[in-house]
Amino acid sequence: MAQAGRICALALEAVRGIIAPGISTKDIERFAHDLIREKGGRSAFLGYRGYPASICASVNDQVVHGIPSERKLREGDIISVDLGVDYDGFYGDAARTFAVGRISEDAQKLMRVTEESLELGIGKAVAGGRLSDISHAIQSHVETSGLSVVRSFVGHGIGRSLHEEPQVPNFGPPGKGPRLLRGMALAIEPMVNAGTWKVRVLEDGWTAVTEDGSLSAHYEHTVIVDEGRPVVLTRLS
């Protein structure tokens, strides 16, 4: 899982370097696909429940599961890139939102708060706590900041499969759900909207967009619960 996570991190860091006005989301797809292969991994998304690409590329009001296309990025866009890696039967999953050139202050705030909420959630991935402590930390920070948390997609356990028990919602009261134990592996992934939390899925059967057209951001890490500081497998350090 450490290897799988490291490949996720390397791929996202490399993707950061090519994000610019004029490139298409399919360009990002090809780039990430090749990089994952070069590092000895396999995309965990390609073919997953029929998903047709190696990454998800979700632009502006697209929340998650944007399918790479000929759509070209424009100055001022934000794009969430989500990718999963299977390394020798072990999985990693990570996502990050990138700015395309100069973006609005609202978009900057959305990205910052979403990333902060992920870090606060990770901070609760500590043995002895409860699963929903993670959920609550995320929701509190997001809503205090005047933004909203998507309800219909959640984080998840991860390990020998991309998606395992338990679900990890980004909302809820603290102190509920299973007790966290050392060694549990969780993909924590807040999806945060500038407007309503409600989303709908486009006719392609995958792309989730905000119901009101507002911007959305998505950050995700694969995390191992430990006694002290959680271990973040999808961070380069």
3 state DSSP class of 209: strand
Among 29, 82, 86, 133, which residue interacts with ligand MF3 (rule: CB under 6 A)? 82
Q: Which stretches of the chain bind Co ion, using CB under 5 A?
A: 93, 187, 189
Total binding residues for ligand MF3 by CB under 6 A? 14
Among 14, 24, 30, 51, which residue interacts with ligand MF3 (rule: CB under 6 A)? 51
Closest residue to bound ligand MF3 by CB? 45
Q: Which entry of ligand MF3, Co ion, none binds 218, CB below 5 to 8 A by partner kind?
A: none
- Which of the ranges 26-34, 41-49, 98-106, 122-130 carries the binding residues for ligand MF3, by CB under 6 A? 41-49
Site residues for ligand MF3, window 202-231 (CB under 6 A)? 220
Contacts of 214 (CB under 8 A, 6+ apart): 61, 193, 194, 195, 196
Residues shown for the chain: 237
Structural tokens at position 201: 């899925």
Residue 24 lies near ligand MF3 (rule: CB under 6 A): no
Residue 61 lies near ligand MF3 (rule: CB under 6 A): no
Q: Which entry of Co ion, ligand MF3, none binds 171, CB below 5 to 8 A by partner kind?
A: none
CB 229 within 8 A of CB 125: no
Contacts of 63 (CB under 8 A, 6+ apart): 80, 150, 153, 191, 193, 199, 208, 209, 210, 216, 218
Structural tokens at position 104: 């609005």
Strand order of the β-sheet with 208-210 is 62-64, 208-210, 199-201
- When the beta carbons of 51 and 72 are compared against ligand MF3, the nearer one is 51
| Cβ 202 to ligand MF3 shortest distance, Å | 14
